[in-house]
Structure 1
Amino acid sequence: MSKGVSTITDAEFETEVLKAEQPVLVYFWASWCGPCKLMSPLINSAANTYSDRLKIVKMEVDPNPQTVKEYQVEGVPALRLFQGNTVLASSEGVIGKDKLLDFLETHLNNN
């Protein structure tokens, strides 16, 4: 099975994120979002780097309004880092590679 980034929907959110055994980074994006095109390669890179201790999924905001509303995603790109039902961290807007790595390292090293 590939350790890359998988795409999920509202219907899969509970199983893929909230019931996952390891932390899950949810990347919220939109096809019309220019900054999302800048973030996607970073998210893919993080998936390769952290595949042993982190699951990464992406969710397009427009077809998945339920999760977007529940987790108060106000802009894209957006990140939410989950451990079970708990949001450990969140970020909205484009962040660079260093900031993304810091974002992940800070929370993954606490587990």
Structure 2
Amino acid sequence: MSNEIVILDDNNFENYVSKQSGLILVDFWANWCNPCKLLAPILDNIAEEYHDHLIIAKLDVENNPNIGVKYSIQSIPTLLLFRNNHVIDKKIGMISKKELKNFLDINLNS
């Protein structure tokens, strides 16, 4: 996992996300989820490539169920994009690096 990725949990999520003024992409995942495992190296690349533009964070829904419930996470992987403590966009399911870059670029330029 990239050093650029922040690990969040039920205890630090709200405090961390509320203090960020820029974009934060949060990956809701679980260790047993194969699509989540496929997405992990893509997020590592994106974290390094976009480190000047946004923060990438991960939250394991298996070990931290409260935040997943709060944001109605029903499928994983789910990517929620936050700006100023509000969800501005989301992607559910496996996504290619090209699709993720397009998703981020659209939101970075809006």
TM-score when scaled to structure 1?
0.92
Q: Distance in 1 between matches of 2:106 and 2:3?
A: 21
Q: Distance in 2 between matches of 1:65 and 1:106?
A: 30
Q: Distance in 2 between matches of 1:30 and 1:40?
A: 11
Gaps of 5+ in 1: none
2:12 is matched with 12
* C-alpha contact (below 8 Å) 2:23/2:84 kept by paired residues: yes
Q: Distance in 2 between matches of 1:46 and 1:86?
A: 21
Matches within 5 A, 1:63-82: 63-82=63-82
What is the one-letter code of the residue matched to 2:53?
Answer: R
1:24 is matched with 24
Identity of aligned residues (%): 39
Runs of 4+ in 1 over 3 A off after TM superposition: none
Matches within 5 A, 1:45-64: 45-64=45-64
TM-score when scaled to structure 2?
0.93
Q: Distance in 2 between matches of 1:18 and 1:71?
A: 15
Q: Report the alpha carbon displacement of residue 3 of structure 1 after superposing the two structures with TM.
A: 5.6
Gaps of 5+ in 2: none
